[in-house]
């Protein structure tokens, strides 16, 4: 167990740690119970907790930690603007013992990455339903001036039992009037980025819809419309729109689209 990892049964920020869900370079996510929410299933939450700030880390590590904290704060502020069944709900945020944290609803199910593998592709009508649900969630966000900016399978959780398709991870979200992206800085996942973003245009609702199109293409085919081993070649292919036409795969007709 890492020195900064919280053991099950420990209390942190008024929450009881139940289990570790996953960890990354800058922190971890835990399943916790919140006494303030009562008892039973409604008390379960997901705690996104960053590693302690400061210490003896070098300049690069300190800068990375500061950026992670900034993204977490941005995610908290963004999600507080959004209340929609297709968007993960945030309960509260704060900082304890030098560690920024975000308390969110605990989602069941799995992310869509599982269904991008050729052996696990979903039926086309299910993909169409996923697209409709995500479009509605994005419309809710866009109507409130929020652009997700990192829509991809890993950031969508599907819970078949609860019939929920939920958009998560708003850490890169842009809020109208508060964009701070530096010129030439590529944020997000390049394979899902619209050509205009690569040309330096600001993110907007249309760039989110472009990413949704890439996501649906991948769910239907098991492949990305644009892919390359090197970033430079990937960006060139996106700019040149060198992708396979879905109509060649006879998927549009099966989805009820026009030829």
- What pLDDT, on the 0 to 100 scale, is given for residue 59? 66
| Residue 4 neighbours by CB distance under 10 Å | 13
Here the tokens at position 246 are 């879905």
Same domain, 99 and 114: no
Here the tokens at position 153 are 């399978």
pLDDT above 70 for 257 = no
Same domain, 130 and 239: yes
Residue at a domain's end among 105, 127, 155:
105
Q: How far is CA 113 from its chain centroid? A: 12
Same domain, 79 and 115: no
DSSP string, 104-144: EE---SEEGGGGGSGGGPPPHHHHHHHHHHHHHHHHHHHHT
- What pLDDT, on the 0 to 100 scale, is given for residue 241? 72
Same domain, 205 and 169: yes
Structural domain count, the chain? 2
Same domain, 190 and 215: yes
Given the structure tokens 């081993």, which residue do they identify?
229
59-63: Cβ within 8 A, 24+ apart? none
Same domain, 248 and 141: yes
Q: pTM, whole model, 2 decimals? A: 0.83
Q: Which residues share a beta bridge with 161? A: none
Q: What is the pLDDT of residues 104-160, one digit of tens each?
A: 999 999 999 999 999 999 999 999 999 999 999 999 999 999 999 999 999 999 999
Given the structure tokens 């420990």, which residue do they identify?
10
- What pLDDT, on the 0 to 100 scale, is given for residue 184? 45
Q: What is the mean pLDDT of the chain?
A: 86
Whole-angstrom distance, CA of residue 221 vs CA of residue 249: 9
pLDDT above 60 for 57 = no
Same domain, 51 and 118: no
- What pLDDT, on the 0 to 100 scale, is given for residue 58? 62
Same domain, 190 and 237: yes
- What pLDDT, on the 0 to 100 scale, is given for residue 116? 97
Residues with catalytic function: 150
Same domain, 97 and 146: no
pLDDT above 60 for 17 = yes
Same domain, 150 and 194: yes
Q: Using 50, 70 and 90 to split pLDDT, how confident is the model at 6?
A: very high
pLDDT above 70 for 65 = yes
Inside any domain, residue 2: no
* Of 135 and 200, the one with more pLDDT: 135
Whole-angstrom distance, CA of residue 239 vs CA of residue 161: 40
Q: Using 50, 70 and 90 to split pLDDT, how confident is the model at 1?
A: low
- What pLDDT, on the 0 to 100 scale, is given for residue 132? 98
- What pLDDT, on the 0 to 100 scale, is given for residue 95? 92
Whole-angstrom distance, CA of residue 132 vs CA of residue 185: 31
Residue at a domain's end among 90, 105, 120:
105
Whole-angstrom distance, CA of residue 194 vs CA of residue 190: 8
Q: What is the pLDDT of residues 212-252, one digit of tens each?
A: 999 999 999 999 888 877 877 877 877 777 555 665 655 54
Domain that holds residue 15: 11-105
**Range from 19-28, 173-182, 224-233 that averages highest in pLDDT:** 19-28
- What pLDDT, on the 0 to 100 scale, is given for residue 92? 93
């Amino acid at each position: 167990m890492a020195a900064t990892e919280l053991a099950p049964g420990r209390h942190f920020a008024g929450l009881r740690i139940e289990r570790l869900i996953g960890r990354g370079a800058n922190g971890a996510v835990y399943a916790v119970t919140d006494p303030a929410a009562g008892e039973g299933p409604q008390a379960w939450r997901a705690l996104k907790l960053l590693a302690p700030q400061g210490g003896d880390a070098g300049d690069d590590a300190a800068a990375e930690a500061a950026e992670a904290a900034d993204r977490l704060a941005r995610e908290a502020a963004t999600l507080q603007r959004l209340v929609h069944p297709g968007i993960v709900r945030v309960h509260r945020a704060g900082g304890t013992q030098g560690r920024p944290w975000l308390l969110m609803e605990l989602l069941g199910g799995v992310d869509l990455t599982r269904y991008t593998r050729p052996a696990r592709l979903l039926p086309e009508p299910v993909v169409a339903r996923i697209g409709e649900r995500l479009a509605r969630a994005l419309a809710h966000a866009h109507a409130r001036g929020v652009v997700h900016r990192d829509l991809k399978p890993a950031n969508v959780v599907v819970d078949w039992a609860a019939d929920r398709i939920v958009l998560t991870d708003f850490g890169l979200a842009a809020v109208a009037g508060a964009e701070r992206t530096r010129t030439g800085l590529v944020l997000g996942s390049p394979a899902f980025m619209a050509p205009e973003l690569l040309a330096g245009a600001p993110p907007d609702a249309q760039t989110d819809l472009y990413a949704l199109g890439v996501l649906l293409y991948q769910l239907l085919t098991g492949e990305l419309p644009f892919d390359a081993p090197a970033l430079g070649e990937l960006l060139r292919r996106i700019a040149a729109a060198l992708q396979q036409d879905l109509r060649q795969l006879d998927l549009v007709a099966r989805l009820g689209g026009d030829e």
